[in-house]
Structure 1
Amino acid sequence: MGAPLSQDQGLVGSAASEDGSGAAPEEPLFLEPRLEPPLRALLAAPDLLHELVDALGSPLNVVLPEVVASNVEAFRAVYRRHRLQGRICFAHKANASSALVRRLADTEAGLDAASVAELSHALGAGFAPDRVVATGPKDPDFLWLAARAGVTVHVDAPAELADLVRLVRARGLPRVRVLLRLSGFASEGVRLLTRRTRFGTPAGAVGELLDLCARERDAVELLGVGYHLDTTGLEEKALALESCVLVLDEARARGLDPRVVDVGGGFGASYLADGRQWERYTTALTDAVLGRRPPLTWGGHGYGLRNEGGTVRGRLTLYPAHRPVAGPGYLDELLNTPAPGLGRPLAEVLLEHLYDLWVEPGRSLVDQCGLSLARVVDVRATEDGTRLVRLAMTAGDVSLEEHGVLTDPVLVPRAGAADPPGDGDDRPVGVHLVGDLCLESDLVTRRTVFLPRLPDRGDLLAFANTAGYCMDFRAHRAQMRPGARKVAAGRRPDGAWWWSLDERYWPHTTRRSGES
């Protein structure tokens, strides 16, 4: 039996009301995942997916290394369109996969490492030091390895830069290339501020950093400046980018020779196939918080919204699961945005100054690069009629909701499953997906998830597009449970699938190339 890859919007639901009141059933609120051809093709191979889980256990993560290489090229196409040079660095914290990092090492990409382990992993995966940038808070061990290896260091504060200078001098190391991370940008005229952050040095205090770079130029080489803003707002990012250009001009006036503006990440990904489903769901969620319809979540959780005297208060703490512009498209839009002070597109400003552009995408560089599989171990109803589907995974194994991402899993039945399945009701049904921990809080989804039919024990649920932060960023080993295994997969030229354990994948293998 093939996996149903989409849920028909037009289907009318038949699940009992989630409050147990016996009220008329609500129409299913599907949030159908966006599936590009490689990921869709993988989901259309249910026998393979079941064989992998049978062999390696549930949960199981599957990554597609060739897709990450395609994503690098999609970003590079934006550079070519604007005639810009620079580096595309993968934010390693988005995924710990060896296969993805090794495949990236076999492209032109760079890598953003935010810990000793990530830096060691990148170097061992084939990245030359000049393709790696060390970011994030740095303890002495991390700073030592970065300086010893000769990677570029993204300096967060004057004290960190001073520590690096002392380290270079004490160990007699070659000069270390540095980027200065800035924050707190402010515009002139109409007041625009970038939002507050605990990272970076306020742009207004950059003089201290520039003075130190000029004074200690035999220990550090100022490569450029950058920022990382936790926002999707183009206006804020345009202000930050223009401000960085002005800081580089100031650095040149001090006799330094910087040439890079690093705009960090935050390009995003679109998780849903249909924006109308997202609008419909968020509207219905508001109605549920106000009590105008049955609850859509376990315990009436409002995802940041609350009802105060019949008025919705708070802020929706969900990722915008459907984004018309994301990833490379968002970078293109940013570069077309006029600089707030100079009035010309930001791409033109960079070109005029002959500055390179560096980016550090995480989520968007592994967009469509994998999925997480979980086996259904139990299906039952509570006293009030709420249907619970228990999975052989924990909420930490697929932390979609912890990152505010709402998307439906794809039901992958086992070949030869009973037909009609389950209780003989193959109509859409609302369920809650719960984890395997002995904790009330182990909810894989707080929201009611609508499936095309009630799953059977032994079926798989496939959570699509989890490679960006949702596979292992919050995974844990509570109750002495082993972590989810990870495999790499791809298709040979003849259409057959190959797979390997993630840690055993190397880009030169015949599994990827199809060579004999």
Structure 2
Amino acid sequence: MDVAAASWPTLPALPCPATAKVVASGLAAELAHALDGPYHFLLPDAFTANLTAMREALARAEVEGFVYYAKKANKAAVFVERAAAGGAGVDVASAAELREALGHGVRGDHLMVTGPAKDPVLLRLAVTHGALVAVDALDELDQVIALALKGVVRPARVLLRVLPDTQPHSRFGMSEGELAAALQRCRQAGSTIRMEGFSFHLSGYALQPRADLAARLAELCLTARRAGLEASRISLGGGLPVSYTDADSWHTFLATQRPAHYHAGKEFRAGDFYPYHSPVAGAAALAALLATRPRHSGSTLAELVREAGIGLLLEPGRALLDRAGATVLRVQGVKDRDGYRLLTVDGTSLSLSEQWFGSEYLPDPWLIRQDGSAPAPAGVFPASVGAATCLEPDMLTWRKIPFPHPPRVGDLLLYPNTAGYQMDSNESPFHDLPLPPKVVVDRTDRPRPRWRLDRHFT
């Protein structure tokens, strides 16, 4: 045990009873044996609960709204299936994503098509199936109009994406001049185009800028209506924060972490990290956004859109996947270093995407004994976690995690709350290693949770 153990910073994840049940039941260890390699398990009941909470936040604010699951956040089929079963939509940005959403039961008119410079095949499928297209440029609008004029039965449904004033260098959205031209083309297209409103892509998680921009788009809707266009909806995009840990743990971690706490003296600045704690998160953040007063307005955002008769569209990804899954890897090597251990697991950091943004996935992994039992507290044993590849920087966790028990070959590491963007955004069969399978776990209220493999098409 390291004599300076008390100095190692920790970042415990917020409790997740369903994940704890998977571990306590022995299922996590059993699946590691059965699948003989790293895997992800998914908790779709959490997705459904998060979706329900967002809808309740809209209802309490008396705001008409519709939720689209941002599919890019996780490739698993089960979350699309849950969205379809719950009457929600899906936000897609490729023809493959659109086809898969349709194949898993999502109605065409419940699809939102986003992304820049959309492929012609994607646009054709979107118009054919009645999806709502967030148009990002004038030439894209021209393509949509041309497709609609080719004899599609229904009018093409579009939103016009606005370039944010506060992020003028964003590569997404149209300037004021381009928007004026787009509105003119929509008017000229007549019944072939149904211009339903406006959308925006805004980086970051601050609520005030999002409310301010939504208010601006509400004014644009009123202007477009006066010109004879429908313009009754605003898409707020995603950007609802998720809180992975509590406030005290987060602020203590930021105040105490330093290069000595990382393998090879790796240096991270506080600004390099995702904000793993947020005072309001998920549905609570949505409620706070609706209660925010845009600048120069005496009304809240909810009051403003209600008065204008505008519906809000949401495209959350991470926020719908909060506590909806975890990643499990097996320790296959242990080295002693100067005051800490260096573990090698049977997977790669491609399964924890934060590392590939020059950052670190910070929530502490759980140590699971190889027999499936929880390790008894015995001290503090710091260890960093490397991948089973020939790349020096391929580290799942640079930080020296203060484990309560010395990790051993055959033990499991469970990284909690990885469903949102972590577990498959950058996965690759590097070294010809197979991609970790996804296991759907439900009925965690039973003594023994049920499981099945996810039915992902690709």
Fold match by TM threshold 0.5 = yes
Q: CA deviation at 1:167?
A: 2.1
Aligned position for 1:19: none
- What is the identity, as a one-letter code, of the residue corresponding to 1:442? D
Change beyond 3 A, Cα 1:57–1:183: farther
User: Aligned to 2:160, which of 160, 163, 180?
Assistant: 180
Partner of 2:428: 476
Distance in 2 of aligned mates of 1:265 and 1:463: 24
CA distance in 2, matches of 1:112, 1:419: 41
Q: State how 1:75-474 maps to structure 2 within 5 Å.
A: 75-137=54-116, 138-170=118-150, 172-185=152-165, 193-194=166-167, 196-203=169-176, 205-272=178-245, 274-285=246-257, 288=258, 295-303=260-268, 305=269, 316-382=271-337, 384-402=338-356, 404=359, 405-415=361-371, 426-474=378-426
SS of equivalent residue, structure 2 residue 452: strand
Separation in 2, partners of 1:326, 1:36: 15
Q: Is the 8 A contact 2:76 2:456 kept in 1?
A: no
SS of aligned partner of 1:218: helix
Q: For the aligned residues, what is the CA RMSD?
A: 2.1
> CA contact under 8 A between 2:367 and 2:375: conserved in structure 1?
no
Alignment of 1:31-46 (within 5 A): 31-45=11-25
Structure with the higher helix share, 1 or 2: 2
CA change 1:211–1:278 in 2 (3 A) is same
Q: Which of the pair has more CA radius of gyration?
A: 1
Distance in 1 separating the partners of 2:218 and 2:375: 64
Give the C-alpha shift of residue 342 in structure 1.
Answer: 2.3
Counterpart CA distance in 1 for 2:20 and 2:430 is 32
Partner of residue 510, structure 1 = none
Amino acid at match of 1:177: R
Deviation at 1:257, TM superposition (A): 1.3
- 1:239 Cα offset (Å): 1.4
Q: C-alpha deviations, 1:12-39, integer Å up to 9, x for none?
A: xx426xxxxxxx5552311101123223
Change (3 A) 1:340 1:417: closer
Aligned-partner Cα distance in 2 for 1:234–1:492: 34
Question: Secondary structure of the equivalent of 1:330?
Answer: helix
**Secondary structure at 1:181's aligned position in 2?**
strand
Q: What's the counterpart of residue 292 of structure 1?
A: none
Separation of aligned partners in 2, 1:419 and 1:331: 39
CA contact (8 A) 1:399 1:444 kept: no
Task: Give unmatched runs, 5+ long, in structure 2.
Answer: none
Q: Distance in 2 between matches of 1:121 and 1:32?
A: 36
Structure 2 counterpart of 1:37, which letter?
A: P
The 1:334–1:128 alpha-carbon spacing in structure 2 relative to 1, beyond 3 Å, is: same
The answer to whether the Cα contact below 8 Å between 1:147 and 1:173 also exists between their aligned partners in 2 is: no
Secondary structure at the aligned position of 1:445 is classed as strand
Deviation readout 1:172-209 (Å, 9 max, x if unpaired)? 45311111111223xxxxxxx34631111124642111
- One-letter amino acid of the structure 2 residue matched with residue 410 of structure 1: W
Task: Give me the whole-angstrom Cα distance separating, in 1, the residues matched to 2:373 and 2:59.
Answer: 50
Tell me the alpha carbon deviations over residues 457-501 of structure 1, each in whole angstroms, 9 at most, x when there is no partner: 111111111000001001011111111100101116644311011
Per the TM alignment, residue 270 of structure 1 is displaced from its structure 2 partner at its CA by 0.7
The residue identity in structure 1 corresponding to 2:99 is: S
Q: Distance in 2 between matches of 1:226 and 1:65?
A: 28
Per-residue CA distance 1:427-476 (angstroms, 9 max, x = gap): 11111100001111110012222211211211111111100000100101
CA contact (8 A) 1:182 1:227 kept: yes
Where does residue 51 of structure 1 map in the other structure?
30
Is 1:194–1:236's contact at 8 Å kept on the other side of the alignment? no
Instruction: Evaluate the alpha carbon distance shift between residue 279 and residue 89 of structure 1 in structure 2; reply closer, same or farther with a 3 A threshold.
Output: same
Q: Sequence identity, in percent?
A: 32
TM-score (norm 2): 0.94
Summarize the alignment of residues 4-43 of structure 1 with structure 2, pairs less than 5 Å apart: 14-15=1-2, 24-43=4-23
Q: Which residue number in structure 2 is paired with residue 72 of structure 1?
A: 51
The answer to whether the 8 Å contact 2:215/2:301 transfers is yes
Question: Residue type of the partner of 1:157?
Answer: A
- Pairwise CA distance, 1:69: 0.9
**Aligned-partner SS, 2:278:** coil
Q: Which has the larger displacement, 67-76 or 195-204?
A: 195-204
Cα offsets for 1:82-116 (capped at 9, x unmatched): 11112111000000001111122100211101111
Within 5 Å, which residues of 2 pair with 1:496-507? 496-503=448-455
Cα displacement (A) at 1:417:
7.3
> What are the ranges of 5 or more consecutive residues in structure 1 without an aligned counterpart?
1-13, 17-23, 186-192, 290-294, 306-314, 506-516
Give the 3 Å change call, closer, same or farther, for CA 253–415 of structure 1 in structure 2.
Answer: same
Q: TM-score, normalised by structure 1?
A: 0.84
Indicate if the aligned counterparts of 1:90 and 1:365 stay in contact, CA closer than 8 A. Answer: yes
Q: Give 1:42 shift.
A: 2.2
Give how far 1:164 is off: 1.2
The amino acid of 1:499's aligned partner reads: W
CA distance 1:402–1:330, shift in 2 (3 Å): farther
